[in-house]
Structure 1
Amino acid sequence: MTNLAIGRLRRFSATPGQMAVVLLIAAFLLAFLLVPAATVIYVAFTEKGTSNLTLVNFLDFFRNDLFVRSFWNSVYVSSLSVVWATLFALPLAVITTRFQFRGAMLIQTLGFLPLIMPPFVGAVAMQLLFGRNGSVNLLLDQHLGFKLPFMDGLNGVVFVQSLHYFPFILINVSNSLRQIDSAMEEAAQNLGSSGFRLFRRIIFPLAMPGYLAGASLVFVKVFDDLATPLLLNVKDMLAPQAYLRVTSIGLADPMGYVISTILIAVSIFAMWASVAVMRGREYSTVQRGGGGLARRKMKRGEAILAYGAVTLVLLLVLSPHIGLLLLSFATIWSFSPLPDGYTMANYGRVIGESSIYIKNTLIYASLAGLIDVVLGGAIAYLVLRTKIIGRAWLDWAAMSALAIPGVVLGIGYLRTYYGVTLPDGTPLATLSIMLVLALSVRRLPYALRACYAAMQQISVSLEEAAENLGANKRRTVRRIVLPLMMGGILAGFVTSFSTAAVELSATLMLIQSNSEAPIAYGLYMFMQSPAGRGPGAALGVIAVILVAVCTFASHYVIERSQKAMGARK
């Protein structure tokens, strides 16, 4: 054997423990992500009742006016939601990163709040505030004699979704703006560029990677959302149609799988397009000095305009939370700008009837978060610290969960595992553990990116030093790597926990009884009737507080751990 061959063999060699971890992760992703998704796609391309491949199902889809209309409605809603989310996010991002603006951190924090409320819960609150007979339209009609169709049909879905998902654009654009080299702006100003022209020609193009990353996430999230259109009684969109076909006609109906396949295809295309647009272009800059755009002081007129714009956007952004809080205390709220009276009875009912929802949510979301950080940390270590063949495929397979909508994953689990039964005849797909696995698979990319980023910040020399002092790989990982990664691990856990706690699409497909249901399912059931919306709002407030407390606690622990690490240095 030549020296080159020996070198390659050593490069790609792995310990038995590392190979076992790779195989376990691969088996998990195969069983609970790739196989269910592949099953959905396979059924979409097979003739009903046989295993013969065919395109007839797709031809039937495009011959059906309802399905074609649903497809274009989904594209319309997703695209317009990106536009409106951009209009909400850009002013906040630019004002808080480019100007000396008092309260910038508070505004960024408030801008993140929509993500900790399920969008379908915000939809009910938005109906009460902006609906045809909501608070705003009643006041407009009373004082100005007209009403605006904020929440009518598809407009309502766009309004709710853009307010809920705009933080994706806000966070990514703000981060991109902070990374731009101030020398680029100074050079443009020296050449006579200023104001909006400077922003349009220099600043925003350099922040384009962040914007496209956020915009693609908004598009995919809106395109795949199930509960918000259903609660607003908008059924002619793709995700609701997939759910309705499976629940009303059954798992044997091929149209549910065709729609699911199209959902996957469009999600993949949107994510690919966001990368393809940037391909071949250069966005990097060489930072000098402190780097980042210089914050300039606003003139009086600019300050008034900025504070006015920020106040307007924040009022819109926080309106679902305000409406939800008012509804949770309301006795009756109908055809009036504010509730007729206030009571604590809704909270009493929720605490008495819905404690099981809260308990299940804590169990399911905690288990999902734990699974995610274990898998995410292991994949990050394998990719960055080993040369095992196929490690990049693990990363790709885990990240592909972003392109699999929750309703599609739920349908895939039912189709794949409903026929697999326990000794007592119970279908495997009906067990609550399947929901935990679905939630963990859906949130794995978030935890993986957090762990990956934390791993990248750890110098290999620290591990080499430990090994030179006699520590084996296992001891090095336990005593050196894990403590240094703890901030990223906690961030990944909280992200997975908080988003899993309000996941509804997969939950609607897999939950079989109220006794096994989490908060998201309970919220959806309460919101189905006017009589249940008060208690549902109370449960929604509890859900928001639960997620917010966990998020705050994680940030507190992360800061404490970082300070402790700094003190040791």
Structure 2
Amino acid sequence: MKALFKHKLDSWALITLVLLLLYLIFMVYPVGNLLIQSVIDKTTQAFSLNSFIKFFSKPYYLSTLFNSFKVSLIATLLSLLVGTPLAYFFTAYQIKGAKVLRILIIIASMSAPFIGAYSWILLLGRNGVLTQLIYSISGIMPPDIYGFTGILLVFTLQLFPLIFLYASGALKNVDHSLMEASENMGCTGIKRFVKIVLPLITPSLLAGALLVFMRALADFGTPMLIGEGYRTFPVLIFNEFLSEVGGDDSFAAAIAVIAILITTAVFLVQKIIARKKSFTMNALHPITPKKLNGIKKIFVYLFSYGVVGLAIMPQCYVIYTSFINTKGMVFQSGYSFDSYISAFETLGNSIQNTILIPGISLVIIILMAVMIAYLSVRRRNAATSFLDILSMIPYIVPGTVAGIALLSAFNSGIFGSGVLAISATMSIMVVALVIRRLPYTIRSSVAILSQIPISIEEAALSLGASKMKTFFRITIPMMASGIISGAILSWVTMISELSTAILLSTYKTQTLSVATYTEVIRGNYGVAAALSTILTVLTVISLLIFMKLSKGEDLSI
């Protein structure tokens, strides 16, 4: 035990052991159990790779994997092409209404992806308002939103804000003297952007691109709603798991393991590339926004307002339709609050659960995140380093896989009975949210703690304060900005979580995201629009609270 810990066995060593135990039970065991299931023949209980052979031998499954890579990769490239220049325009030029546009961009990025898909169905579906408008004017029926094109559109408009946020943060560290030097040497405009700016912000763009790719690859709701014949990996995992319950569990587990291996490989490749491109920057003189004139002004304004308007349009239209009289999938004439009345009367628990379950999860996340961050930065050793690595694994595990792993682990096996038989309870949803969203708060907490001199804590200890008192009275208050930043990101992504919630929730524990998805599938568009609006309002309120608490306008990832 003493060899394991560099420091003497004290309260922090005990906390390390408890945290490691929690990760072993609620993450390592479920994933390990999934791995074992994938290589065990259910009939003979012998070791077998038949499930993996079945996957790789059939074109149906391989084409689905290719589809996911194709749409995720192109969506990542398009997000880079849209988000990077947009961030540069906001940094380099004076744009009227920039503060409002930034808020709208953040709202667009934080809303549930499947809501964007549902919104575009209303706009460009076969009976969508824009589809019918174009047909009535031109007599030509435009292509509908379903399939590859629709998924790509939704992903790009949903995910480019993440690139925008990463690029904006990186551009703050670019010194204005570099821009002036390049201008003096005749390097201006697009040439300066490509040769000077892009290389300087490449590490941040790589980090943003990884997040975009992972989110697109793991997204379940969007392709499920508008994919139709275009199959993607998360939908395949979901369908195979449901169809295989009581049947060949080994094949469902094998698909989930393949998903983990793929996302891990992508994560490691990105890390290797980012390490080669990494360097430090410190802007003594940040970029000063310039006034725009002439054609450049027209282009920048059209691009900025056009992109943001297109990104926020689906949410705005859903809010509008939530007040229209609706019968099933048909929007009738007149306006009322009937959809909201139906939502609150029949789905009241969903609204409560959306606040209660993420609320409980957030308290646990904050408590665990500050402890793991402190252990990783201040008490680094073999055990805490291993704990830090474990905490980042959920970052690369798709939501559907996490849901299947938890459901399989706590519905059967050594934890299938007794106190930890939590498969049909609210507890399993809390566990899933904590495990999956904890990395956001840990990373932001680690970042801020790394900037705090350890001498401040040493001074408190020398004055007689205990280690725990120093931690809670001195360290945590200084970490507040990083904790709040990570917590709001965890919170917003939790209230819109669908991929794990749809697998783990029951009627009593379903959340707004699950309820909204269910109403869309059932064709109750009015109630779905009302629920989507409520979810959007919760997101906006959360962001406003973040800005109030952080006393700033920027959201870091």
Shift of 1:96: 0.3
Equivalent pairs, count: 547
- 1:266 matched to 2:262? The reply is yes
| CA distance in structure 2 between the partners assigned to 1:355 and 1:25 by the alignment | 35
Letter of the structure 2 residue corresponding to residue 19 of structure 1: A
Q: Does residue 249 of structure 2 align to residue 249 of structure 1?
A: no
Query: What secondary structure, in the 3-state scheme, does the structure 1 residue paired with 2:287 have?
Result: coil
Among 165, 176, 188, which residue is 1:194 paired with? Answer: 188
In structure 2, the CA distance between the partners of 1:47 and 1:351, relative to structure 1 (3 Å rule), is same
Q: What is the letter of the counterpart of residue 262 of structure 2?
A: V
Go from structure 1 to structure 2 and tell me whether the alpha carbon gap of 1:559 and 1:311 turns closer, same or farther (over 3 Å shift): closer
1:391 aligns with 2:387: no
- Aligned residue among 423, 429, 443 for 1:429: 423
- Output one character per residue of 1:470-502: Cα deviation in whole Å (capped at 9) or x when no partner: 111111112111222223223332222221111
- The answer to whether 1:534 aligns with 2:526 is yes
Tell me, yes or no, if structure 1 residue 302 matches structure 2 residue 296.
Answer: yes
- The residue correspondences of 1:7-26 to structure 2 (distance < 5 A) are 12-26=6-20
SS of residue matched to 1:543: helix
1: CA distance, partners of 2:4 / 2:273: 39
- Structure 2 vs 1, CA of residues 343 and 559 (structure 1 numbering), >3 Å: closer, same or farther? same
- Equivalent position amino acid for 1:255 in 2: F
Find 1:525's aligned residue among 518, 527, 534.
518
Aligned equivalent of 2:77 = 83
User: Cα deviation per residue 1:279-328 (whole Å; 9 max; x = unaligned)?
Assistant: 333543464x42x3332222222111111111211121012211211221
Does the 8 Å contact 2:329/2:525 carry over to 1? no
Letter in 1 for 2:411: Y
User: CA separation of 1:145/1:345 partners in 2, compared to 1, >3 Å: closer, same or farther?
Assistant: same
**Alpha carbon RMSD of aligned pairs, Å?**
2.4
Q: Which amino acid aligns with 1:410?
A: G
Which one of the candidate residues 402, 407, 411 is aligned to 2:404? Answer: 411
Structure 1 equivalent of residue 461 of structure 2: 467
1:559 corresponds to 2:555: no
Partner of 1:3: none
User: How far apart, CA to CA, are the structure 2 residues paired with 1:263 and 1:133?
Assistant: 35
Report the more deviating stretch, 278-287 or 39-48: 278-287
Q: CA offsets, 1:367-425, max 9 Å, x none?
A: 1111111111001111111144321111111011111111111111122111244459x
Per the alignment, residue 564 of structure 1 pairs with none
**C-alpha distance in 2, partners of 1:122/1:267?**
24
Contact 2:4 2:383 in 1 (8 A): no
- Give 1:269 shift: 2.1
TM-score (normalizing by structure 1): 0.91
Q: Confirm or deny that 1:236 pairs with 2:231.
A: yes
Q: Within 5 A, what are the aligned runs for 1:75-154?
A: 75-149=69-143, 151-154=145-148
Secondary structure of the 1:61 match is helix
Deviates more, 1:32-41 or 1:168-177: 32-41
Q: What amino acid does structure 2 have at the position aligned with 1:379? A: I
Query: In the alignment, is the contact (CA less than 8 A) between 1:182 and 1:293 conserved in 2?
Result: yes
- Helix, strand or coil at the partner of 2:360: helix
| C-alpha contact 1:447 1:489 (8 A) present in aligned 2 | yes
Q: 1:161 to 1:194 in 2, by over 3 A?
A: same
Say whether the 8 Å CA contact 2:151–2:227 is kept in structure 1.
no
Counterpart of 1:442 in structure 2 is 436
**Contact 2:358/2:491, CA 8 A, preserved across alignment:** yes
Distance 1:421 1:140 in 2: 56
1:480 to 2:474 alignment: yes
Q: Partner amino acid for 2:459?
A: A
1:95 Cα deviation after fit? 0.9
Deviates more, 1:211-220 or 1:134-143: 134-143
Separation (CA, whole Å) in 2 of partners of 1:534 and 1:317: 22
Report how far residue 427 of structure 1 moved. 4.3
In 2, Cα distance between equivalents of 1:178 and 1:130: 38
Aligned match for 2:363, one of 354, 363, 370: 370
User: Is residue 244–residue 252 contact of structure 2 (8 Å, CA) maintained in 1?
Assistant: no
Seen in structure 2, the aligned counterparts of structure 1 residues 396 and 423 have a Cα distance that, compared at 3 Å, is: closer
1:455 aligned residue: 449
Distance 1:124 1:330 in 2: 16
Offset at residue 351 of structure 1 (A):
1.4
Kindly state the Cα deviation for residue 342 of structure 1 after the two structures are TM-superposed: 2.1
Once residues 138 and 498 of structure 1 are traced to their aligned partners in structure 2, the CA distance between those partners, rounded to angstroms, is 34
Matching of residues 14-53 of structure 1 within 5 Å: 14-53=8-47
Structure 1 distance, partners of 2:401, 2:100, is 37
Aligned-pair identity in percent equals 26
Report how far residue 449 of structure 1 moved.
1.2
CA apart distance, 1:429:
1.6
Whether contact under 8 Å (2:135, 2:142) holds in the other structure is no
**Pick aligned residue for 2:206 from 206, 212, 219:** 212
CA distance in 2, matches of 1:10, 1:501: 39
Change (3 A) 1:176 1:16: same
1:335 Cα shift?
11
Corresponding residue number in structure 2 for 1:316: 310
Distance in 1 of aligned mates of 2:280 and 2:346: 55
AA partner of residue 256 (structure 2) = S
**Corresponding residue SS for 1:62:** helix
- Deviations along 1:134-182, whole A, 9 cap, x unmatched? 2223232233343443513121111112211222111001111221122
SS of residue paired to 1:280:
helix
Cα separation, 2, equivalents of 1:96 and 1:377? 33
- Contact (CA 8 Å) 2:218, 2:398: kept in 1 or not? yes
Q: 1:86 to 1:187 in 2, by over 3 A?
A: same
Aligned mates of 1:509, 1:139 — CA distance in 2: 38
Q: Partner of 1:344 in structure 2? A: 337
- Structure 1 gaps of 5+ residues are 1-7, 561-569
| Residue 334 (structure 1) shift | 10
Partner of 1:544: 536
Tell me, what secondary structure is at the counterpart of 1:246? helix
Distance in 1 of aligned mates of 2:423 and 2:339: 34
Distance in 2 (alpha carbons) for counterparts of 1:81 and 1:246: 27
CA distance in 2: counterparts of 1:332 and 1:394, whole angstroms:
51
2:326 and 2:339 in contact (8 A); partners too: no
- Alignment TM-score, normalising by the size of structure 2: 0.92
Whether the 8 Å contact between 1:373 and 1:451 is mirrored in structure 2 is no
Distance of 1:547 and 1:121 partners within structure 2 = 13
Q: Is the contact made by 1:241 and 1:256 (CA closer than 8 Å) also made in structure 2?
A: no
Q: 1:225 aligns with which of 219, 225, 242?
A: 219
Write out per-residue CA displacement over residues 78-120 of structure 1, whole angstroms, 9 at most, x where no aligned residue.
0121122223312321110111222222222211112332111
Residues 462 and 63 (structure 1), Cα distance of their counterparts in 2 relative to 1, 3 Å cut:
same
Q: Which residue of 2 aligns with 1:278?
A: 274
